[in-house]
A = this chain, B = another copy of it.
Amino acid sequence: MLHLRKSLYRILETSAGKRRGISLAFNLVLITIITLNAIAIVLHTVPEYNQRFARLFTDFELFSVGFFTIEYILRVWVSVENEKYHHWLWGRLRYIFSTSALIDILAIFPFYFSLFATDLAIVRILRLFRIFRLFRISRYSHAFRLIQNVVKEKKEELILSTMLVVFMLIIVSSVMYYVEHPAQPDNFSSIPATMWWGVTAMTTVGYGDIHPITPLGKLLGGVTAIVGIGLFALPTGILVSGFNEHIREHKTPRRKVCPHCGKEI
């Protein structure tokens, strides 16, 4: 029993040492199931496919939840093999409240909850939660850890520039509301409504559903777009330089050797 637990731990968590082949195969199967889940959730909303493959969608959902549930139980069982979660009870409880285990439970919980839910609105929201199964893939993704690190490192600058964007958005939308409201009382009906214009103008999306029509409003709209580009460039530039730094640091710093004397330089 203990031997089985050790083997299972190696397969599920370490991907190293003995059982490395099986571990790799298992992880590939898991990633495939997660990806298929994402595709199923997306295609399931297309009425045409939903009717035609109704049975297939239900079966696959049952299979996925079953697979994820067994996997989750096994992970909790073997978690004590990890030194961090050594104690048979407290260790397991601490594992259950670790980020990756919480994501795992979030991926299956909506299904079980929806069995008891009778309210359609809640079932709808629970269905939406299934999309977060996709986050299970973050366990494997190098990219998520990179993003996490960059955001953590540049936290201060990002908060600062986000504050500036929000501040600017409030000021600009307030002024625009007073300028355009008399001319377009329906579109610019209140400052919160004007903020929707503010966001589409500052991000240069410009859907065209709401835009100034008075000369003063157009002038203000033009200045907003120009300043918005500059303002949004800040978090962007900060993120890009953060990534570049990270990537440079983590790339193997090529050891160079002088071809004449053989010493490292």
Partner of A233, one of B177, B204, B236: B236
Are B211 and A41 within 8 A (Cβ)? no
Are B229 and A170 within 8 A (Cβ)? no
Given A41-B191, A208-B209, A261-B258 in contact, is the A243-B237 Cβ separation under 8 Å? yes
Are B232 and A226 within 8 A (Cβ)? yes
Whether a CB of chain B sits under 8 angstroms from the CB of A114 is no
> A222 to B125, alpha carbons, bound, how many Å?
21
Are A233 and B222 within 8 A (Cβ)? no
For window 153-173 of chain A, which residues contact chain B by CB distance below 8 Å?
157, 160-161, 163-165, 167, 170-171, 173
29 A-B residue pairs with Cβ-Cβ distance under 8 Å, sorted by A, are A38-B170, A42-B170, A43-B191, A45-B181, A45-B191, A46-B192, A47-B190, A125-B178, A143-B163, A146-B160, A199-B221, A201-B205, A203-B222, A204-B204, A205-B205, A205-B225, A207-B207, A207-B208, A208-B209, A209-B211, A229-B236, A230-B236, A233-B239, A234-B240, A234-B243, A237-B243, A258-B260, A258-B263, A261-B261
Interface residues of A (CB under 8 A from B): 38, 41-47, 124-125, 127-128, 131, 134, 137, 141-143, 146-147, 157, 160-161, 163-165, 167, 170-171, 173-175, 177-178, 181, 189-193, 195-196, 199-201, 203-209, 211, 215, 218, 221-222, 225-226, 228-230, 232-241, 243-244, 247, 258-261, 263, 265
